[in-house]
Structure 1
Amino acid sequence: MSMRQIEPKQRGFLIVNSHPDGAAATVRRAWQQIPARTGTRRPVALILGHSAGYGLATLLAGLRQHGIRGVGVAFDSADTGRRTASAGWYRTAAAAGLIRHAGGDFAFVNTDAFSEDGKKQVLDLVEQRYGPVDYLIYSLAAPRRTDPVTGLVHHSVIKPLDTAYEAPALDFSGPEPAVSRIRLEPGTEDEKQATIAVMGGTDWSLWVTALAGRRLLAPGFTTAALTYVGSEVTAPVYRQGTIGAAKAHLEVTARDLAASPALTAAAGRVFTVVAGAAVTQASSAIPSIALYTAFLRTVLGDDAFRSTTDQAIDLWDQMEGRTPLALDDEGRIRLDGWELDGDVQQRVRELWSAPEAGLLQARAGADWFLAQVRDLYGWGVDGIDYTQPVEPDIAWPSPR
């Protein structure tokens, strides 16, 4: 045991440590926001990237409302004594505790999901314990990926393409939030291709192929990969940039998978799922997203801004047939109508056109955004006494 008081180590958006009790409390809070299960079906799910953002929300909504069984995969770090475990590590331990209390059956594997060894470890567990998979949810977000065939390490970048990007951004380096200016030079073709290699659909396809090779695709198998389109305000650095190129590759991959013999034989379904804006560890690293999200939150208010949990509930209801699929012309499931509503976007553009004045109107939204970033790491969570010592060395739940 190594009980100690932990204080946040933070500079702007960058937070390098987590609070175990705070991170666990965020999981319990989300769990309570999800309606309890009413049916008897218990589909088998494999969730890649379960410990943060939309992956975590999809895990909790699937468990609480639909009684899913299966395996979650993440790549999180343990407590070292000098630095706490990652927030995802603590969230996984908290989720496992809720599952035990509810009498569920879900295992967690901490491994590099991009690696061949990681795939084998996970698929061995799925095959031995659960059998054919009904749902594969792909929600991996990583800064790099090692190609399992060539051994090359690809690094993703957040850059525009073709022309430089200049825009306002939210700056928390001073005592009060302020508007700063950023400029990003366009990414190279090599950087674009590397970002596609990390964040595109290649690894998603490899997972589906590996499941098919083990005969682990259940009849009616469904796989869904999370993506984002977003506003025209942020399009130059997102949808039209290197990340957007990766997301476009993800969507092409979906069409290729849908036409593959393995999916055809299983009468399977393949979707990309366009989620709405959210404060996640991945999104907070994208320039200008903080200011845009603060403006969006200000326009929508507390009730109309949909959390990742809200959207995950909606997604499961659509995939399970409780509500009709909300598909666009490209066959993507859309969860972002609330964000891209024309009147909402017009009001966001008005704030964006004069960002300093906009921030004066959106100060509460900016404060909310920073509080949400802290919440991701277990800081500033209601009901947690941060003056008390806690045990940061928490075991990863055994998959057995």
Structure 2
Amino acid sequence: MIIQPRVRGFICLTSHPEGTAQNVKNQIDYVKSKGAIANGPKKVLVIGASTGFGLASRITAAFGSEAATIGVFFEKPAAEGKPGTAGWYNSAAFEEEATKAGLYAKSINGDAFSDEVKKQTIALIKQDLGQVDLVVYSLASPRRTHPKTGVAHASVLKPIGQSFTNKTVDFHSGVVSDISIQPVEAEDDIANTVAVMGGEDWKFWIEELKAAGVLAEGVKTVAYSYIGPELTYPIYRNGTIGRAKDDLEGTVPVLNDLLKDLNGVSYVSVNKALVTQSSSAIPVVPLYISLLYKVMKEKGIHEGTIEQMQRLFSERLYTANANDLQLDEKGRIRVDDWEMRADVQEEVAKLWEQATTENLEQLSDIQGYRDEFFNLFGFNFPEVDYNAETNEVVTVPSIG
């Protein structure tokens, strides 16, 4: 079939198998161009492995460190006349490239919050790898059915305490406007958001992996967070999502204690603002990112997801000397350090004040934002002919 992008708001309803494969290949080529990661991981579990930072982590481990990888995700398979999700196609392309390179790669498609998928993953590790030496936790979901209580929790994106008004942009049309978001009304909404996006499930995974004996001596585990600039605090860091991120980050000492007898360690890595399916849904953030991209590209310090993860692995998680790993005052790894540089933030703040619909194309990298958004779904790659027929029925080899 011929697959073109169909968009509804911040969601693209279609994805392109050849385009997503190109996206995966581009990321692999970047990691290979940076050379081998000394003392990198060799047996890796990535929970939330099909898109964004999770996919980039899996690619970095495999092609930067020749690691065997198991990826867990929840994606819609392709069927005749119905394209699969981008994450499904990404995973298919990754496994194909890994196999070509002689690397072990298998995947599990299911609800990572469930006990069933945890047991299935443990069985696969025992069968094929024995143990893993790195666990990446990179789940992004708007809802979670709690495995112990059966209660369904849904996250909300709202400020806490008072309404928030600021600029935002429709990145498709380039229209800059003001948006007002009312504060969360019920404490339950905060609790539900923490239940979905906080650290409890990460803890459940590590507890079950350890109990099953599949964590190696010296195991590392890392989850991802974001802080951002003050202008996004009301809707992000000081809002409902921020409470969940606080909970995620607060899980680190719990896991460190749990992993102590294995000489293991856990980290939260605070990453840069990037175009993802999640960030596109947050008011204010697309405008901020389009201005940030402009500034960082002009300074020659722009990074995408794969550049961020390659730097995290090679310069932070697997430095030659563990004492070289610099953490912030709250014990977090910071690979948002270039984004948060004073000179970068000062320039973004100036542009923010000036940005209007009329000057957006000149002041920002809104086109770069659009391209990266469509790249997530396999579109806007010059190497791909989107007017040609493509085979939408693609399987993930280890799943079928």
> What is the TM-score with the length of structure 1 in the denominator?
0.94
Match of 2:226 in 1: 228
Alpha-carbon distance, 1:396 to partner: 1.9
Measured in 2, the distance between the counterparts of 1:255 and 1:59 equals 25
Distance 2:333 2:178 in 1: 34
Unpaired stretches in structure 1, ≥5 consecutive residues: none
Maintained 8 Å contact 1:11/1:173: no
String of CA shifts for 1:146-189, please: whole Å, max 9, x gaps.
Answer: 00111010001111111111111111454xx1102211111131
Corresponding residue for residue 253 of structure 1 = 251
CA distance in 2, matches of 1:363, 1:345: 15
2:340 alignment partner in structure 1? 340
Describe how 1:69-148 pairs up with structure 2 within 5 A.
69-81=68-80, 83-148=82-147
Residue 5 of structure 1 and its aligned partner are, at CA, apart by 0.9
Is residue 78–residue 395 contact of structure 2 (8 Å, CA) maintained in 1?
Answer: no
Q: Give the deviation of 1:32 after TM superposition.
A: 0.5
Find the counterpart in structure 2 of residue 382 from structure 1: 382
- Helix, strand or coil: the match of 1:54? helix
How far, CA to CA, are the matches of 2:290 and 2:117 in structure 1?
38
Alignment of 1:206-225 (within 5 A): 206-225=204-223
Could you tell me which amino acid in structure 2 is paired with residue 104 of structure 1?
L
Offset of residue 78 of structure 1:
1.3
Preserved contact between residue 179 and residue 359 of structure 1 (Cα < 8 Å): no
Map residues 347-362 of structure 1 onto 2, 5 A cutoff: 347-356=347-356, 359-360=359-360, 362=362
Alignment of 1:40-59 (within 5 A): 43-59=42-58
Q: Helix, strand or coil: the match of 2:70?
A: strand
Indicate yes or no: 2:287 matched with 1:291: yes
More off after superposition, 357-366 vs 27-36: 357-366
CA contact (8 A) 1:224 1:271 kept: yes
3-state DSSP of counterpart to 2:356: helix
CA distance in 2, matches of 1:20, 1:109: 19
In 2, the alpha carbon distance for the partners of 1:240 and 1:42 equals: 35
Q: Once the 2 structures are TM-superposed, how far is the Cα of residue 131 of structure 1 from its aligned partner? A: 1.1
Task: Please tell me whether residue 282 in structure 1 is matched to residue 278 in structure 2.
Answer: yes
Q: Is the 1:352–1:358 Cα contact (8 Å) retained in structure 2?
A: no
Equivalenced residues, count: 393
The structure 1 segments of at least 4 consecutive aligned residues displaced by more than 4 Å after TM superposition are 38-42, 361-364
Aligned to 2:396: 396
Q: Is the 8 A contact 1:351 1:357 kept in 2?
A: no
2:188 alignment counterpart: 190
Give the SS at the match of 1:339. Answer: coil
Q: Over aligned residue pairs, what C-alpha RMSD do you find? A: 1.8
CA contact (8 A) 1:295 1:362 kept: no
Deviation of residue 83 (structure 1)?
3.5
Q: Residue 165 of structure 1 contacts residue 186 of structure 1 at CA under 8 Å; is this kept in 2?
A: yes
Q: Could you tell me how far 1:321 is from its partner in structure 2?
A: 2.3
CA distance in 1, matches of 2:138, 2:239: 20
Tell me which moved more, 131-140 or 80-89. 80-89
CA distance in 2, matches of 1:172, 1:290: 7
Shift of 1:87: 0.4
- Cα deviation for residue 201 of structure 1 reads 0.2
Contact 2:40 2:61 in 1 (8 A): no
Q: Which moved more, 1:238-247 or 1:164-173?
A: 164-173
Offset of 1:351 from its aligned partner?
1.6
1:48/1:137 contact within 8 Å kept: yes
| CA 226–38 in structure 1, closer or farther in 2 if over 3 Å, else same | closer
SS in structure 1 opposite 2:338? helix
1:313 partner SS: helix
Kept in 2: contact 1:298–1:362 (CA 8 A): no
Q: SS state of the match for residue 340, structure 1?
A: coil
Aligned-pair CA distance for 1:385: 0.4
